[in-house]
Structure 1
Amino acid sequence: MTDPRELRVSDAEREHVVSLLNKAVGRGMITLDEFTARTDTALAAVTRSDLNGVLVDLPGMINNELAHARTELKNTMGTTVRKGNWVVPRELVIRNTLGSTNLDFTAADVPPVVDIDLDVSLGSVKLLLPPGSSVNIDAVEITAGELKDKVHNAVGRPHFQLKGAVRGGSVVIKRKR
């Protein structure tokens, strides 16, 4: 049986640890030089043992994105707005019927990858993405509706992965310059 510390880690796990290190700098737990060295180690980590080594002396690190890994926004004939400083979950479900959903990610705490599942009927969704971000809309099905992607790039962070259905509605994706 393999020791769990010797299991290989994924890119998502490495990025998670880097986000924890970023929070540690913000809390004054480590210096910028320590952050740089630990980030380099985390990004080069192959096993859990390698990755855990950069966090072992940082007590109480909690990643809010894990506590809020999935959020569902439901809207029927109303308006849902998220802007300013808000925590974006890794998975966001938008259920919108005859309403509007406006999400501004520019000042939000955004994980490296956000999966957005659309279920839109006769409503509108507007997404304002941060500079340098990317989006993939290949898994969105449009029926008698409209999808305007003004981002048009395949590489960047954070990355937004959209899927789902838009029936008689619209989705507009823009990036803040």
Structure 2
Amino acid sequence: MDAPERPDGSVAPRDLRVSHSDRAHISALLDRHHVDGRLDGAELAERLVLVTAAVTRADLNRVVADLPGAAEAVPVREVLELTNTAGELRRSGEWLVPPRVVVRSYFGNARLDMRRARFVTGDVVIESELTVGNLDIRLPPGATVDLTGARTQFGSVRDKLGATDRPGAPHVVVVGGTWFGNITVR
């Protein structure tokens, strides 16, 4: 079955097919709502069956539509662009991480602390365009990272999480890099 196309030939974000990571992310959200007392055991079980059968983002959205924060389960914005000319670029605390984050900084460091962030999808791509500065990414427990597309001319790329056999949730892919500086994920 083909997803409905828009006039420009693209597929609306709500009609995009979901991955195993997306389903795992929504399952984790439901578990949190169960622990917080918003869902009883039977409701949790019913919704987890729907998550397993979900094909599109719209299917997943329907499962969490009546829960706090559900409007952000799949964002209106697909890309978050963070730009800085000089100084420190930071994002921390509780924030919504869309499927793609673009970080641009010419002279300064960029720090993305995702330990308390809410991930829209299980897979996130971080595009780094730094000239002079370090990129420091902090991920929550259970997260994994792919740094094969990350580069630096004068510096190092470090994965302090350690390699795993399969992607976790969330799974972050870092592409691009920095000219002078380091890329560190912890």
Fold shared by both chains (TM-score > 0.5): yes
2:106 to 97, 105, 117: 97
Paired positions, count: 168
- Counterpart of 2:93 in structure 1 is 84
Distance 1:133 1:163 in 2: 17
Distance 1:98 1:57 in 2: 41
Structure 1 residue runs without a partner (length 5+): none
Matched, 1:62 2:74: no
- Counterpart of 1:11 in structure 2 is 19
Alpha-carbon offset, residue 15 of structure 1? 5.1
- Counterpart of 1:142 in structure 2 is 152
Matched, 1:131 2:131: no
Q: After alignment, is 123-132 or 9-18 more displaced?
A: 9-18
Matched, 1:120 2:130: yes
Distance 1:8 1:98 in 2: 37
Structure ID, larger Rg: 1
Question: Cα 1:2–1:83, aligned 2, differ >3 Å: closer, same or farther?
Answer: closer
Distance 1:99 1:17 in 2: 35
Question: Cα 1:70–1:32, aligned 2, differ >3 Å: closer, same or farther?
Answer: farther
Question: Cα 1:149–1:93, aligned 2, differ >3 Å: closer, same or farther?
Answer: same
TM-score, normalisation: structure 2: 0.72
Structure 2 residue runs without a partner (length 5+): 5-14
TM-score, normalisation: structure 1: 0.75
Which secondary structure state, in structure 2, belongs to the residue aligned with residue 55 of structure 1?
A: helix
Alpha-carbon offset, residue 107 of structure 1? 1.0
Contact 1:75 1:100 in 2 (8 A): no
- Counterpart of 2:84 in structure 1 is 75
User: Deviations along 1:135-164, whole A, 9 cap, x unmatched?
Assistant: 000011221222121112233111101111
- Counterpart of 2:40 in structure 1 is 31
Which secondary structure state, in structure 2, belongs to the residue aligned with residue 85 of structure 1?
A: coil
Alpha-carbon offset, residue 116 of structure 1? 0.2
* Matched letter for residue 98 of structure 2: P
* Matched letter for residue 182 of structure 2: S
**Percent of aligned positions with the same letter in both sequences?**
25
Distance 1:19 1:31 in 2: 15
Alpha-carbon offset, residue 134 of structure 1? 0.2
Distance 2:100 2:3 in 1: 31
* Matched letter for residue 139 of structure 1: G
Matched, 1:156 2:168: yes
Distance 2:17 2:46 in 1: 19
RMSD between superposed Cα atoms in Å = 3.5
Contact 1:88 1:108 in 2 (8 A): yes
Contact 1:81 1:101 in 2 (8 A): yes
Distance 1:22 1:75 in 2: 37
